Structure 1
């Protein structure tokens, strides 16, 4: 199935439980009533190609993929008005940009502080004795 048809089906699916409109390429404004009766507005930032990849690669089934989008949107914390496509997920965000993953940021900072590398790979025998190792010399 082509990306355009899948994208149209996504919009139709979102309109079954809310009001969705594509406001720009890769941008869907969605308003829906949450379980407490409050009207929430969210902007989904995801391209048709990303949706096609998500629906086909991860789920292989349109209905399951659409249900997962609904779950991710409705579970987004209040006050975060964007759901931005990351690798096979919609990430809640305060802006239309994918937020920085704190774990990735911590690893990048460690790499910046230790350009020589950090951590060691070791191979042990069943008794736990180191047989081989790779990485910077312990300091």
Structure 2
């Protein structure tokens, strides 16, 4: 699976950002987070905010010295094995979208492509809510 963001189509509504928060955090969470990152995009002198996320490119996997980051075969999604992660943050430095983060447990975590939703035959939460169709999966 490859997640694609067409920044031209993105309208900066943050629906994908909020959907990610809702999917991966309980409603009562005080430290809720999104795996998507808000960035400023500039084209032809115009600025707009876009929500970029993991594109499942595997750069983090290639850089991981402990082998904690791997590609799940069935859905072709890059995941982090928390048991193997040594928290060195090497993966963070190579991510083109800053879509991998250091968590409170000293481990790295990233978008899992909403793998549980995929297993149920559903789209990832961010793709599902993108009204501009700027987010797609291939």
TM-score by length of 2: 0.25
Greater relative contact order structure (CA < 8 Å, 6+ sep): 2
Taking structure 1 as the reference length, the TM-score comes to 0.25
